[in-house]
Each structure stands twice: as structure tokens, then as C-alpha cells.
Amino acid sequence: QLRLVESGGEMVQPGGSLRLSCAPSGSTLDYYAIGWFRQAPGKEREGVSCISKMGGSTNYADSVKGRFTISRDNAKNTVYLQMNSLKPEDTAVYYCAADYDPWNICRLSPNAMDYWGKGTLVTVSS
């Protein structure tokens, strides 16, 4: 059982930046691709970005390309989502999720994920 813990969510003004972190509790992320997903009130959960277990493959939703960057530091057992130029429509609960990854690819689909964190709230508002 892989337990994931997100951190870094808070309220920020439009145009601001945040960095979210995803780390496991008592385990390792070495075998997993990691995805970031978000869910705004009244909307379905959507994929934001994902990164393969070795970090060589990444994917981004069109809505965040050029603004968000996913990365991972396997030595620190942590995956990051750097979010720049934040917009009010980025407001959501952000979840990280893990997908067992034998092929070193990532799949930005909620149905592909094996484990989920409980989420961290990002609010973009003036």
C-alpha cells in the first residue's frame, strides 16, 4: 500500500506562483509514474501533468502547458509541480497519484492510477 501526501497548497493572487510537493509515507516512489490531477467545485477530476518513474517522460494538459512544470527528485523521494502565472481557473483541490510504471512512461488518466493522496487546496484569487 502506497500512501501519498501532498503539500504546498495555499491562497495566491493571480499571476503568482506555487510549488506543490508529493511524497510517500513510509515507502518509495521509485517504481511509479506520478500524476497530478485537480478537481474544482462542481467539475470532474482532470489530469494536470504526469512524470514517468525515471523522469524522462512528461505530459501536460493543454490548459497548463508553458505555465506548470513537473519534476521529481528520486533521491528525496519527492515529486514537484511548479505552478507559475496562476489564474483563477486554476483554483481546485490538487491530488497526486501513483501509477505502477514498468515501461517508464506516464499516463495522464485518473483510471490508470493505483494510489491517491488526499489532496491540497490551491486558491487563486485577488
Q: What is the pLDDT of residue 91?
A: 98
Chain centre distance of CA 58:
11
* Local structure of residue 31 (DSSP, 8 states): T
Q: What is the pLDDT of residue 101?
A: 87
Mean pLDDT by 10 residues, the chain (126 residues): 95 98 92 97 96 94 98 95 98 97 90 96 97
Residue pointed to by grid coordinates 486558491: 123
Q: What are the backbone angles phi and psi of residue 38, rounded to the nearest 5°?
A: -145, 155
* Local structure of residue 105 (DSSP, 8 states): -
Q: What is the pLDDT of residue 108?
A: 94
Residue 107, C-alpha cell as written in the block: 499516463
* Local structure of residue 110 (DSSP, 8 states): G
Cβ pair 40, 59 in contact under 8 A = no
Q: What is the pLDDT of residue 104?
A: 85
Residue 52, C-alpha cell as written in the block: 514517468
Question: Three-state DSSP class for 56?
Answer: coil
